[in-house]
Amino acid sequence: MRVLLRLAAVVIGATLVNAQNSTTGNTTDCANYDMDISNSNIDAVLSCIKNNPDPPIPYYLYILRSYQGALAVPSIVTASQIDYEDSAGLLNLTSLDLPDLEQIVATGFFIYGAAKLSELNAPKLRTIRGSLTLNLVGGPAINLSFPSLEVVESGIYLNGTIDRYELRFLQTDTAKRFSIELPALNSTSAVQIFSTGKLDCNAFAASVVNATPAYNAEDGIGSNTSVICNSKKGNVTTFRPSIVASSRGSKMVSNLLLWSVVVGCLSLVA
């Protein structure tokens, strides 16, 4: 009995040491919230996350520049940050799957210089406390669909060959290969898209503008450039008008709901 227990302890100890070495080198272990991800430590990282998916400080996932090929990180529901960057734009990650990710609670989601990325899936991602910053310039066709994404506090910044914005119900064109979809977005400070493709910026801007803060032209409160979309098909800079600005124009209807909320509050106060 005693021998068996000792054996078990040794096995557990050995497992921990392995995870330690292979996770982030010599100084960290599964309890560390910084997770560097490389092709050689990926199994250890995934087992750390699987065994402890919800640590007190959510993981910061750093995909190392040298990463090659596809990457799937299941089990992680809350992350502090996801980061993969290279100024030279020579990154070799080809796909990134985050099937369980629901929220990013610190600085945001950054992919910079990933010119081989053709798939990015985060179907349950609902909230990003920081920004969503993706630079995929020079990359292949990609569908950027964030079907559950509601809130991106510090803004959405995308550069790449994004060819079109697809309205879900407007799927007649068979040539659709590049797209961006943010069907659930209802709150973000700014949206800026710089596309070298033929994205329909008018349609795209119209679809996201109501998620941005209102701009009051009279007192200058807010920003009048909260939505920027540049592509071969159009350059659009726009904003959501505030109640004051809209009361003089036809945009009033779109703000009636907001207006009635304000009136409701006023009458409560009175």
Ligand X SMILES: *[C@@H]1O[C@H](CO)[C@@H](O)[C@H](O)[C@H]1NC(C)=O
Q: Provide the binding-site residues for ligand X, judged by CB under 6 A.
A: 17-18, 21-22, 25-27, 65-66, 86, 90-92, 133, 135, 141, 143, 150-151, 157, 159, 176-177, 179, 186-187, 194, 224-225, 230, 232-235, 237
Q: Which two tokens stand for residue 152?
A: 């991106």
106/176 with CB nearer ligand X: 176
Residue closer to ligand X (CB basis): 187 or 247? 187
| Min separation Cβ 253 and ligand X, Å | 20
Residue 237: φ, ψ to 5°:
-125, 125
Go through 101-119 and write b for each residue having 16 or more CB atoms within 10 A of its CB, e for each that does not: bbbbeebbbbbbbbbbbee
Collapsing DSSP states into helix, strand and coil, what is residue 48? helix
Instruction: Give me the least distance between CB of 27 and ligand X, in Å please.
Output: 5
Q: How far is the CB of 90 from ligand X (least distance, A)?
A: 4
Judged by CB, which is closer to ligand X: 74, or 198? 198
Q: Which is nearer to ligand X, 141 or 243 (CB)?
A: 141
53 versus 141: smaller Cβ distance to ligand X: 141
Smallest separation (angstroms) from ligand X to the CB of 105: 16
How is residue 53 written in tokens? 């998916």
Q: How far is the CB of 219 from ligand X (least distance, A)?
A: 11
Q: How far is CA 126 from CA 84, 99, 123, 183, 243, in A?
A: 20, 12, 9, 11, 28
Comparing CA positions, the residue from 93, 78, 87, 176 lying closest to residue 129 is: 78
